[in-house]
Amino acid sequence: MTTEDKKGEKNGLSRRDLFSNTGKAAVAAGVVAATGGAGILATAAASKSAKASEDFAKATVEPGQLDDYYGIWSSGQAGEVRIIGVPSMRELMRIPVFNRCSATGWGQTNESRKIMRESMLPETKKFLADRGEVFLNGDAHHPHMSFTDGTYDGRYIFVNDKANTRVARIRCDVMKVDKMIEIPNAADIHGLRPQKYPRTGYVFCNGEHRVPIPNDGSVLDDPTKYHAVFTALDGDTMTVAWQVIVDGNLDNVDADYQGKYAVSSCYNSEEGVNLAQMTSSEQDWVVVFDLARIEAGIEAGDYKTIKGVKVLDGRKGSKYTRYIPVSNSPHGVNSSPDGKYVMVNGKLSPTVTVIEYARLADLFNDKIKPRDAVVAEPQLGLGPLHTAFDGRGNAYTTLFLDSQSCMWNIDKAIAAYKGEKVDPIIQKIDVQYQPGHNHTSMGETKEADGKWLVSLNKFSKDRFINVGPLKPENDQLIDISGKEMKIVHDGATFAEPHDCIIVKRSIVNPVRTWSRGDPYWAEAAAQAKKDGVDLEEAEHVIRDGDKVRVYMHSAAPMFSLEKFTVKEGDEVTITVTNIDDIDDLTHGFTMSNYGIAFEIAAQATASVTFVADRPGVHWFYCQWFCHALHMEMRGRMLVEPKA
Amino acid sequence: MTTEDKKGEKNGLSRRDLFSNTGKAAVAAGVVAATGGAGILATAAASKSAKASEDFAKATVEPGQLDDYYGIWSSGQAGEVRIIGVPSMRELMRIPVFNRCSATGWGQTNESRKIMRESMLPETKKFLADRGEVFLNGDAHHPHMSFTDGTYDGRYIFVNDKANTRVARIRCDVMKVDKMIEIPNAADIHGLRPQKYPRTGYVFCNGEHRVPIPNDGSVLDDPTKYHAVFTALDGDTMTVAWQVIVDGNLDNVDADYQGKYAVSSCYNSEEGVNLAQMTSSEQDWVVVFDLARIEAGIEAGDYKTIKGVKVLDGRKGSKYTRYIPVSNSPHGVNSSPDGKYVMVNGKLSPTVTVIEYARLADLFNDKIKPRDAVVAEPQLGLGPLHTAFDGRGNAYTTLFLDSQSCMWNIDKAIAAYKGEKVDPIIQKIDVQYQPGHNHTSMGETKEADGKWLVSLNKFSKDRFINVGPLKPENDQLIDISGKEMKIVHDGATFAEPHDCIIVKRSIVNPVRTWSRGDPYWAEAAAQAKKDGVDLEEAEHVIRDGDKVRVYMHSAAPMFSLEKFTVKEGDEVTITVTNIDDIDDLTHGFTMSNYGIAFEIAAQATASVTFVADRPGVHWFYCQWFCHALHMEMRGRMLVEPKA
C-alpha cells in the first residue's frame, strides 16, 4: 500500500459514503468488499524460493528448539481448543471440548460424558435423552486464560460454545476440560472474557440472541418479548453468579484492569429479527456493567430468580448499566494493557471508539453524558473488527473489508479527537484475506510485550495449494517487535480458529503424567473401590446382574486381560488404567467393530460403558503406538449369543 | 551420531543378541528401547535462535508462496485424513472420514450418513440401530492414492479403518469421502495399498485379526477356528472383488508394478491369541498373492460364497499363494520404484528382507523354494518398520528401537548378500523419537523424485513445549536431495498420523467450487424435485404429515428464510443451497441448542434431519464467517409446543 493510498483511506470518507444506514446498501457494500476487495485480487506467487529471507527466518523454530509462547486457539465450528506454538505456528495439541473426538474418546468416555451431562439444564437433558444424550458439536469462539492481578495465571482456559449456549473450562495442568455449564435464560453465548483484577473470579458471557424467558414455546413470534442476557459466571465453581437483562443483543465483551466494569458491544440495538431491521439505525451502543453496583443490588435482593439464577434488570434507565452510543453494529471490545481505555471496534463504521475507564464513575453518577466517556474515535479504514496492543502505546486493528491490519497510536488518536492536527495511523499492511480477530503476545494483559501479532483471516483463497471447495483459514504471524509490522508466516488452519491468545511459555506449566489421585476419574475409582479392585493391579471381570464391569491395566505392550467373556445384551463398563509412568507413553483402548475408542495417557484411568449386543469374537487393541510389539497389544471380548 | 556409533550399529549384532526368540525377552527389550532409548535421553535445546540456517530455510515456504507437494496424511485414531503442505508441513485441510466432525457436520448431515449407512453390513446396521446409527470413530491408517501406469493419477484416495473394518474413498476433485465399505468376513482392516499397474483397479486390504467366519457367536474361544482374510476391493465400484483366506494374520501389504502380485506381511504365523504365543516362533512369513491365478480360480468357480463374497482358500499349499519365511514379526512391505523388489521390514529382526519380483513366477511354478526369492537381507539396526525410496537406488528404513532413519543402497545390499564385501549402509541419523512409517516424495510410484523424506515419529517427548500428559507426534521432514539426510523441520501433529504419501502438486487438481449437478446431494435434489422446489431459489416450507421439509438458499449475508414454524415432535429436514459462487465463500448452518451444524461450500447443497422436540424460539445462524454482516446472517425456527 502506497502512502497515497494510506492518506486516501484516512481522509477517504467517500469510501465510507458507500455505506448508507440502510441494511440493504450495507449488505451490497459488504458483498463487494468480502468477495472482490483489493486484497483478494492479489495472487500468490508461484513456488517457494530456495532461501527464506531474514524476516521469515524469525518465525522459524529449528528442529529441537522450542517455541516461546503457548498460543491458545479456539476452533470455531470444530468445537475444540488448539495449542499452537508461537512463533512456529505449529499445532501442538487439540483439546476436544464441545466436539466428539475419535482419538481421545471425548464425548464417549464416561468421564467426558459426565462433564457434558452435568453441564446440562433439565430441559436439555430431557431433549437429548433419546439422541445420544450429549451434544457432539459446538462453536467455540473465545478462549481466554484465567487472570490474577491483570495477567495470565496459568490455571484455566475458558471458552464459549455459541451453538449450544455453553461455557467450558480447561485445566491447564492436564490440558483437558474439567467443567462445562449450559447457561440458563440466555441464548447462544458469544462474547466471553474473564475478570482481570483482582483475579478470575468472574467470567463474563454475552448471550447474543434475544429469546423469550422462559423459552418454552409460550412466546413465539413476538420479538418485543425477547430478551438478551449478560452472565457473570463464577470461574472457580463454574456456576452462574448473576445475570443482567439488557436492551439490544450482546456481541463482544471485555473487562477492565481495576475490577470495576465489564463492557459489551451491542450490534442490534434495534432488536430486529431480520437483516434490514438489525441494520436500520444510525447508532448502536456499548453496555457498561458496574460490578460493585450489581453486587450491591444482588445483596439488596433487587433481582428475580429465574431457573435458579439471580437476574437483575439492566435495561436502559437501570443503575447497574450505562449505554454509550456508538456507530451502527460495533463488534470487538478490547481493553488497553495500561488499564486506561477500552476500544470498541466499528465494524460498519470505519472508526474505533476509545472510552476512558476513568470517566465511567462520573457516567454512572450522571455527572457526564454517555458520549462524554469517549476520548477518541479514529477513522482507520473499512470494517474495523478487533484491536490488539503492544504495550508501547500502539494499537493494531483488523480491517475486515479493507483486508488490512492498521497500526495506530492511542495517545495521538486522543490528541486528534481533541482537535490536534496529528495522524494516529502509523502503518497499514495488507493481510490475506479478511481478518476477524487478531491478538498480540500477552496483549490482553498488563504484560503485553509487543513481540508478535496474529491476524486470524477468514479467507485464504489463493494463499495455499488448492484443497477443494472448502479452504483453510489463514492465520498470519506478524512481527511487531520493530517500528513497523512485517508478515512472516502464513498459517493454514482448519475451520475456524475464531480467536486466540498468546501466552509466554513460563506461565503455562502442564504436568507430564497424570497423578494417580486425580479427581478426573473419581467415579470410576469409587466404583472400583466398591468392587474391591485396585485400579493399578486390575485384571477383574465383575458381573452384577446384566451389568459387567471389566477392569484392566495397561503396560506396554500388554493389557492385563487377554480376554473376557460377556453375554449378548450385557451392559459392559470397561475401565483401563495406564500404569506406565513414562513421559509420552499414552495407550489407547479400541473395541473393534463396536465404535469404541479412547485414550489413556500415562498414569490415567479412563472408562466407557456400552451394550454388548453384537455376538462373536471382538478384538480390543491399543491404538496409541506404544512399543515395538504395539500391534501385539490386544485381546478378545467374547460375546455369547442369546439363546 | 559419531562414525564409531554408526559402525557399531552396523556390525553390532551384540545389540541384536539382546533379543531372544521368546516373546518375553522381546517384550523386555522393547520396553527398554521404547521408553529409554538413547534418542529419548537427548534433550531439546532451549529457545529458537534468531536466524534459521540455510538447511532449515529449505523447508520454509514464505508468505504467499505455495508448497510443492500435497502431503496426504492419515490420522490414526482421529479417524480423518489430512492434507499437509510439503515442505511447509502446514495442515491445509482436514477431511473427515470415519469420525464425527463438528465443523462440517460429517456424521450428521444426511449426505454423510447415507455414505456411512450404505457402507454397513446388515448385522452392523442392526447393531447400530439404537445407538445413533453410524460409527462416529475410526482408526485411519493407510492413505493411498489411485494409480495409473505405476504412478498417482489424482482420482481418489483410499484409506482403511482398522477399528471398524472399513475402507473409505475420497474424491480428490472435492476432497470429500464419496464411498465407504465395511469389509465382510474380515476383522479390522490394517494394511491397504492400491494396485499400481495397469491401474487401480484393485485396492488390497489386509484383515489383521483372525476371527471365526461367520463371526456370529457360534464359535468363541476356539482360535483354531479363526481365520484371517485378504480382500481385493474394486476401487471403481467400492465393492469386494474377491477374498482369500490365509494362514497367520495379516499386517501390511504392497502391490508390484507389473500388476501380477500383492505381498502381505504376517506377524503372527503362530496364530496365537496372546503376546507369548504371537512371538514364540523364530520365523513368520510374507504371503504372496498371484492375481492372475486368483482371477482364473474365480472364473473356474473355485470359491465359496460367504456373505455375498467369493472367497478362495489361499492357505498353505494353495496354488493362489506362496509363503516366504522371514524373521519373526515382519511389518512394513514396500515395493521399490524400479519395480524390481519388495522390501519386508523385520521389526523384531534388525533386517530388511529384499524379495525380487522377477523370481516369483518360478516360485509359483515350484521351480525355486520360497527363500530363493530373497536377494538381500541387510542388517540395518533395531526395529526396522518401513522403507521408502529416492528413485536413485537408495532406500530409507525407519528403525523404531534405535530411533533412527537408515539410508542404504539396494544394489550394494544385493551384492553383500551374494558375498561381496560391500557395506550397503550410507548413513544413519537420529530421529526424535521412535519412527513408524516413513515416506518419500512420490516414493511409492515409479516417479520417486528423491527430494523429501518424512519420518512419522510416534513420540515427541521434549521436542515441543509441554502440552500435558498427551503429547503430539513428531513428523520430521528430512531433505534427501543431497548425498546425505538432513532433518530440516519438526512437525507436531495430533494423534496419530499413521502413514502418509507425498504427491507432486501438478497431479492433484481439486475444483474451486462445487458443480451444481454433483451427485453428492442427489437424494436431496430428487426430493426437492418431487416437492417442486428449485434448490437455487429455495425458500419453501413443505409440510407432509408430521414431516416438514424446509428449503432455503444462502447468499452472504442472508438465508432466504428469516423464520419458519414447526410443531413440537415434527421430523424436520433442512436443506440449504449455497448459491454464492465465489472461491472460498463457504456458509454454514447451525441450529442453536439443537446440536445441529454443517458446512455448505460454494455451490453445494447439504441437508440434515432431526426431530423438533424442543419448543420455543431457536435461532439458526451461519457459523462460517462469510461477510461483514456475518453475525446478522441468522433466522428463527419457531417450535410450537404440544398442547
**B122-155 pLDDT, tens digit each:** 999 999 876 668 999 999 999 999 999 999 999 9
Under 8 Å between Cβ of A279 and A327: no
Contact: B275, A510; criterion CB under 8 Å = no
Distance from CA of B532 to the nearest CA of A (A): 27
- Band of pLDDT at residue B53, cut at 50, 70 and 90: low
Beta-carbon separation of B565 and A83 below 8 A: no
B364 φ/ψ angles, rounded to the nearest 5 degrees: -65, -30
- C-alpha grid cell for residue A93? 495439541
* A90 closest CB neighbour out of B136, B491, B616: B491
List the single best residue of B470, B511, B634 to mutate versus A (max A Cβ within 10 A): B470
From A38-47, A323-332, B512-521, the region with the lowest mean pLDDT? A38-47
pLDDT value for B568: 97
B327 pLDDT band, cuts 50/70/90, is very high
Residue B608: its pLDDT value, please? Answer: 98
> What's the predicted TM-score (pTM) here?
0.94
Averaged pLDDT score across all residues of chain B: 92
This complex has an ipTM of: 0.93
Cβ neighbours for A473, distance < 8 A, ≥ 6 positions apart? A456, A457, A458, A459, A460, A492, A493, A494, A495, A496, A497
Band the pLDDT of B41: cuts 50, 70, 90.
very low
Cell of B199: 491401474
- CB A468 within 8 Å of CB B176: yes
Residues B170-183 have pLDDT tens digits of 999 999 999 999 99
Given this model, what pLDDT does residue A130 score? Answer: 61
Q: Which chain B residues are closer than 8 Å to A638 by Cβ?
A: 220-221
Which residues face B202 on adjacent strands?
Answer: B234
**Contact criterion met (CB < 8 Å) for A57 and B58:** no
pLDDT of residue B13: 30
pLDDT over 50 at B107, yes or no: yes
Average pLDDT over residues B382-401: 98
State mean pLDDT over A51-61. Answer: 72
Residue B41 burial (CB count, 10 A)? 10
Per the prediction, chain A carries an average pLDDT of 92
Q: Is the pLDDT of residue B530 over 80?
A: yes
CB contact under 8 A, A217 and B641: yes
Q: How far is A418 from chain B (nearest CA, A)?
A: 30
**pLDDT category, B29, cuts 50, 70, 90?**
very low
pLDDT single digits (tens) A92-101: 999 999 999 9
Indicate whether A29 pLDDT > 90.
no
Question: Are the CB atoms for B486 and B479 separated by under 8 Å?
Answer: yes
Torsion, Cα of B620, B622, B627, B633 (10° steps): -10
> Could you tell me which residue, A43 or B282, shows the higher pLDDT?
B282
Which chain A residues contact residue B105 at CB under 8 A? 137
Which residues are CB-neighbours of B447 under 8 A, at least 6 positions away? B151, B337, B391, B504
Strands A239-246 and A309-313: parallel
- B497 pLDDT band (50/70/90 cuts)? confident
Cβ-count burial A364-378 (b if 16+ within 10 Å, e if not): beeeeebeebbbbbb
Rounded mean pLDDT, A412-431: 98
pLDDT > 90? residue A470: yes
Q: Inform me whether the pLDDT recorded for A51 exceeds 50.
A: no
Instruction: Kindly report the number of other CB atoms within 10 A of residue A541's CB atom.
Output: 15
d(CA A272, CA B449): 60
Q: In degrees rounded to 5, what are phi and psi of residue A9?
A: -60, -50
Nearest CA in chain B to A487: B63
Residues of chain A with Cβ-Cβ distance to B278 below 8 Å are 632
End-to-end alpha-carbon separation of chain B, Å? Answer: 78
Do A468 and B35 count as a contact with CB atoms less than 8 A apart?
Answer: no
Residue B24 has pLDDT above 60, yes or no: no
In this complex, which of B164, B217, B511 lies closest to A593 when CB atoms are compared? Answer: B164
